[in-house]
């Protein structure tokens, strides 16, 4: 999930809007944000929590920070109705990263959120290539490597991850193993990503309002 917005404010004010606890609570839709994200005390590994009405506090941890251009946080981001862990769960958390780029008339703010694995987003990759998969039907790793600008080894690794999270299933055809998209799982994932995108659009609009008002 990736979203970008242009803000008519200098990078320092946008940085304050996305890192200072008193500003975060305005755009995250939360009642409070507790943690050392902004200021001199901000560092990799710093912990905090986000609290919403009638919900348990959600743990947050800084994964990377390079003031005033980048901050990345891991947080437990369960679906509504799911229990919230009291500590960061590496296997069931997402990472959102803010990148700030100064422009002559303001700042370009980009947020990218990835889930399950911190180095790849297989469900989003699969959704982007869904049309090709639907057109080809079941396909082997070798066949997919012929369609995509990556190696067969890379395709095999991605397929293993997609199979693990239930988005594809292997089907043996003679001596060949082909992979089939699990439609119900992919549709659910696509709906989840779309909902996350809408929520981040709302948050970015709020950040813009906060930064331009500082």
> What are the helix (H) ranges across the chain?
11-19, 21-27, 122-128, 130-136, 141-147, 152-164, 183-213
Spatial CB neighbours of 112, under 8 Å, sequence gap ≥ 6:
1, 2, 96, 97, 99
pLDDT at 51: 78
> Quick check: helix, strand or coil at residue 209?
helix
Q: Quick check: pTM over 0.75?
A: no
How many angstroms separate the CA atoms of 202 and 30, rounded?
Answer: 13
Of residues 75 and 136, more confidently modeled: 75
pLDDT band with cut points at 50, 70 and 90 for residue 11: very high
- pLDDT for 205 beyond 50: yes
Rounded percentage of the chain residues whose pLDDT exceeds 70: 66
Residue 84: how many other CB atoms lie within 10 Å? 15
Q: Assign residue 29 a region (left: φ > 0; alpha: ψ between -120 and 50; beta: otherwise).
A: left
pLDDT band with cut points at 50, 70 and 90 for residue 129: very low
Tokens 């700030």 correspond to: 100
- Residue 199 — very low, low, confident or very high, per pLDDT cuts 50/70/90? confident
What is the pLDDT at residue 142?
Answer: 79
CA proximity to 30, closest of 77, 65, 67: 77
Work out the average pLDDT over 5-17. 94
CA-CA distance, 189 to 52, in Å (whole number)?
Answer: 24
2-11, 98-107, 138-147, 169-178: segment of lowest average pLDDT: 138-147
Apex 11 CA angle, 212 and 75, nearest 5: 90
Asked whether 75 and 96 are in contact (CB, 8 A), the reply is: yes
User: What single-letter DSSP state applies at residue 61?
Assistant: E
Residues 79-89 pLDDT 10s: 545 666 778 87
pLDDT greater at residue 16 or residue 188: 16
Within 13 A of 185's CA, how many CA atoms are on the CB side?
A: 15
């Amino acid at each position: 999930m990736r979203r970008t917005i242009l803000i008519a404010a200098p990078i320092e004010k946008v940085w304050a809007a996305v890192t200072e606890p008193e500003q975060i609570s305005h755009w995250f839709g939360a009642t409070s944000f507790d943690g050392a994200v902004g200021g001199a005390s901000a560092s990799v590994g710093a912990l905090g929590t986000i609290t919403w009405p009638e919900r348990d506090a959600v743990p947050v941890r800084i994964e990377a920070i390079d003031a005033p251009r980048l901050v990345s946080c891991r947080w437990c981001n369960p679906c509504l109705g799911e229990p919230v862990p009291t500590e960061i769960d590496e296997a069931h958390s997402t990472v959102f990263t803010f990148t700030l780029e100064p422009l002559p008339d303001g700042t370009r703010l980009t947020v990218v959120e990835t889930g399950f694995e911190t180095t790849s987003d297989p469900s989003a990759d699969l959704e982007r290539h869904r049309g090709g998969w639907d057109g080809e039907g079941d396909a082997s790793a070798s066949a997919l490597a012929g369609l995509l600008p990556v190696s067969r080894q890379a395709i095999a690794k991605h397929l293993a991850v997609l199979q693990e999270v239930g988005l594809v299933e292997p089907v043996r055809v003679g001596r060949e193993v082909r992979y089939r998209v699990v439609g119900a799982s992919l549709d659910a994932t696509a709906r989840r990503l779309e909902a996350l995108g809408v929520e981040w659009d709302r948050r970015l609009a709020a950040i813009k309002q906060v930064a331009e008002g500082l």
